[in-house]
């Protein structure tokens, strides 16, 4: 007469352990929202701070370009010593003299300088677009690091839950073997699966440590714990629901297109500067000089002081420069064509990236729905296999495989949700619309 099989359904203690692990891994006294971590990263991340410093340097360089249209002034002074020995009716000997000169000029007509000033204004737009790109990249990197930690925590939770379930299955197989209801194969299969899950737990623990270190490095603090997603998770579809509409948004302010567009404008002005090499220049100049020198005539002993003030116009017209100006114009025109091609390449690249990001979000949403259905099916399959094992129509390996399938599906589902949220930010980045405000909807989805 055969004895009944030992049930292998999860015990109350196991369920409590799973819940405790999930809560312990998902929440912490130091848990922070995505917005909090982003603000911390914005104040600490070296890559972003470097971009801000570069932006300030670009602003200063742009101001330098305006100097060519502004007044220039200079003060110079000098002293000299001379020795005089002459047969004329003069005083021989050693003499010293001093002079002080104040010079000023104001450009009146300098087309090259005016073009350079306009280039400086355009370079400010490029600097601003570069900083915007750096900020958008920081948003994505912060969100990536945030979700990497959450995904690693989920993996650890599910691996430990699977380990506890396999441990119970191993204990049940050993009990059934001891009473003669099963063969040693069931125990060995359960032991092999338990050892495998232990190895997965070690790998998951290491991955969690690495992901936490990456997040800590980003914000400049230690033991930063992100808030988990609240359940149930509602993932919004991209709006507008048309990839061409997203592509159209790129022309409204994508930083890459802005940089390429301003670079073309600067190249055109560079051609203007080169062509200005043939044109005259006109400056208003003024000078005031005071000189003190000894008298060399015997009839006028002592020192003489001279004061001279001049105001005038200075005109320059280049006549021939060895064909340097003509070749400079050719070079500028070629670079202008290059800038025009670069702008078109930027538009094509941005358009492709935007479409890819859009379809990536749609694909991710579809995967989430499929995995949610797979999770429910895997749970039903596990319940059926456990019941079948209990009544003797299923073997131990069937239960172990069903457990592995369920927890793998849970891990894939959690990762797919993070990928969709991150993908929505990448879509806005690809279209040039990403800003810190886009973190608020995601932040509102976190458990408080």
**Element at 41 (helix H, strand E):** helix 34-44
pLDDT for res 176: 78
3-state class (DSSP) for residue 54: helix
**How big is the chain by its Cα radius of gyration, in Å?**
39
SS (H, E, C) 132-175: HHHHHHHHHHHHHHHHHHHHHHHHHHHHHHHHHHHHHHHHHHHH
Please report the domains of the chain, with CATH numbers, ordered by start residue. Answer: 12-70+110-279+322-443 (1.20.1600.10), 71-109+281-316 (2.20.200)
Cβ atoms of 403 and 381 within 8 Å: the answer is no
Provide the token pair at 123.
Answer: 């370079």
**Element at 344 (helix H, strand E):** helix 324-391
Cβ atoms of 140 and 422 within 8 Å: the answer is yes
By DSSP bridging, strand 31-32 and strand 93-109 are: unpaired
Query: What's the CA gap between 254 and 269, in Å, rounded?
Result: 23
Which of 197, 167, 199 shows the shortest CA–CA distance to 404? 197
pLDDT for res 392: 79
Query: What's the CA gap between 235 and 413, in Å, rounded?
Result: 12
By DSSP bridging, strand 225-226 and strand 93-109 are: unpaired
Model pTM above 0.85: no
Which of 1, 7, 2 shows the shortest CA–CA distance to 389? 7
pLDDT single digits (tens) 119-157: 999 999 999 999 999 999 999 999 999 999 999 999 999
Query: What's the CA gap between 239 and 237, in Å, rounded?
Result: 6
Which of 432, 448, 408 shows the shortest CA–CA distance to 197? 408
Cβ atoms of 184 and 426 within 8 Å: the answer is no
- Which residue do the tokens 């000169």 mark? 101
pLDDT for res 24: 42
Rama region for 180: left / alpha / beta (φ>0; ψ in -120 to 50; rest): left
Cβ atoms of 124 and 62 within 8 Å: the answer is yes
Q: List the alpha helices (DSSP H) in 179-284.
A: 184-219, 243-249, 255-275
- In degrees and rounded to multiples of 5, residue 106 shows phi and psi of -135, 115
Provide the token pair at 148.
Answer: 């990497």
Mark the ranges of the chain whose per-residue pLDDT is less than 70: 1-30, 83-94, 294-303
Q: At what angle do helices 184-219 and 111-178 cross, to 10 degrees?
A: 160
pLDDT single digits (tens) 169-224: 888 888 878 887 777 888 898 899 999 999 999 999 999 999 999 999 999 998 89
Largest Cα–Cα separation, the chain: 150
Query: What's the CA gap between 268 and 248, in Å, rounded?
Result: 26
Q: How many CA atoms lie within 13 A of 414 on its CB side?
A: 22
pLDDT for res 301: 60
């Amino acid at each position: 007469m055969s004895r009944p099989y030992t049930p292998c359904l999860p015990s109350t203690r196991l369920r409590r352990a799973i819940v405790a692990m999930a809560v312990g891994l998902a929440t912490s006294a130091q848990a922070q929202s995505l917005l909090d971590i982003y603000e911390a990263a914005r104040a600490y991340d070296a890559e972003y701070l470097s971009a801000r410093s570069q932006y300030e340097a670009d602003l200063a360089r742009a101001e330098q370009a305006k100097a060519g249209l502004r007044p220039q002034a200079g003060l110079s002074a000098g002293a000299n010593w001379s020795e005089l020995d002459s047969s004329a009716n003069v005083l021989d000997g050693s003499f010293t003299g001093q002079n002080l000169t104040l010079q000023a000029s104001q450009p009146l007509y300098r087309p090259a300088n005016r073009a350079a000033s306009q280039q400086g204004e355009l370079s400010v737009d490029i600097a601003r677009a570069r900083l915007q790109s750096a900020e958008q990249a920081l948003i994505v990197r912060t969100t990536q690091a945030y979700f990497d930690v959450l995904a690693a925590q989920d993996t650890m939770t599910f691996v430990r839950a699977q380990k506890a379930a396999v441990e119970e299955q191993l204990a049940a197989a050993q009990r059934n073997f001891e009473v003669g209801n099963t063969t040693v194969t069931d125990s060995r299969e359960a032991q092999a699966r338990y050892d495998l899950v232990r190895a997965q737990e070690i790998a998951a623990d290491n991955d969690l440590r690495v992901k936490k270190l990456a997040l800590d490095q980003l914000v400049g603090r230690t033991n930063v714990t992100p808030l988990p997603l609240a359940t149930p998770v509602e993932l919004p579809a991209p709006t507008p629901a048309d990839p061409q509409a997203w592509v159209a948004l790129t022309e409204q302010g994508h930083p890459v297109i802005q940089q390429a567009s301003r670079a073309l404008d600067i190249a055109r002005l560079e051609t203007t500067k080169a062509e200005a090499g043939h044109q005259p220049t006109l400056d208003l100049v003024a000078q005031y000089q005071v000189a003190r020198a000894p008298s060399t005539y015997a009839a006028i002993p002592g020192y003489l002081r001279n004061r001279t003030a001049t105001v005038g116009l200075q005109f320059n017209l280049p006549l021939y420069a060895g064909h340097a100006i003509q070749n400079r114009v050719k070079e500028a025109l070629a670079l202008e064509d290059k800038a025009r091609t670069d702008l078109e390449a930027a538009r094509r690249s941005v358009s492709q990236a935007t479409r890819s990001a859009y379809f990536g979000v749609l694909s991710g949403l579809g995967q989430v729905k499929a995995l949610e259905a797979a999770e429910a099916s895997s749970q039903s399959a596990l319940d059926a296999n456990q019941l079948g094992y209990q009544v003797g129509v299923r073997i131990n390996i069937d239960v172990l495989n069903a457990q592995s399938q369920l927890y793998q599906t849970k891990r894939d589902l959690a990762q797919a949700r993070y990928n969709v949220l991150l993908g929505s930010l990448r879509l806005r980045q690809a279209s040039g619309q990403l800003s810190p405000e886009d973190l608020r909807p995601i932040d509102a989805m976190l458990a408080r």
